[in-house]
Structure 1
Amino acid sequence: MKQFILTVWQFYRDGFRSMKLGRTLWLIILIKLFILFFILRLFFFPDFLNQATEGGEKDGYVSHELIERMP
């Protein structure tokens, strides 16, 4: 299994090295991932759980909300 993973890694590594735009493409991919996971999370996904709870009663808050919202 370890040899298989190493072979796959070498295959992709050598493939991207031989590409002319390989490094540029990886840079674009990494920049897009950074924007998606860090920048957008800060602005569009605030941490409601920490704002709604005081101290550390997250489990109680979640269980209360689940019970209250049941149809």
Structure 2
Amino acid sequence: MKILKKIAHFYYEGFRQMTWGKSLWVIILIKLFVMFFVLKLFFFPDLLKQNFKTDKERGDYVIENLTNIK
């Protein structure tokens, strides 16, 4: 447990003493939010839920396409 406290203290002190780093982390978090939430919401619709009503139909469709060798 002592080593975990040292590691946590190391990161806490490092983030506390940052000047430019805090701004960069905010930018990184905003970019991640845009990539994973906004892009998924608008550009990657859930086609399985739109085209199939039950979980069995969705599962059968996925298995059929994964095992279909062309």
Match of 1:19 in 2: 18
Consecutive unaligned residues of structure 2, counting only runs of 5 or more, are none
Runs ≥4 residues deviating over 6 A: none
- When residues 20 and 66 of structure 1 are mapped into structure 2, their CA distance, relative to the original with a 3 A threshold, is closer
Displacement of 1:14: 0.7
Match of 1:3 in 2: 2
Aligned pair count reads 69
Displacement of 1:24: 1.6
Percent sequence identity over aligned pairs? 43
TM-score of the aligned structures, taking structure 1 as reference length = 0.73
Over residues 25-59 of structure 1, what are the superposed CA-to-partner deviations in whole Å (9 max), with x where a residue is unaligned? 22112111111110111122211221232222221
Give the distance between the partners of 1:49 and 1:60, measured in 2 at CA: 11
Of 29-38 and 51-60, the range deviating more from structure 2: 51-60
- When residues 63 and 5 of structure 1 are mapped into structure 2, their CA distance, relative to the original with a 3 A threshold, is same
Consecutive unaligned residues of structure 1, counting only runs of 5 or more, are none
TM-score of the aligned structures, taking structure 2 as reference length = 0.74
The answer as to 2:52 corresponding to 1:59 is no
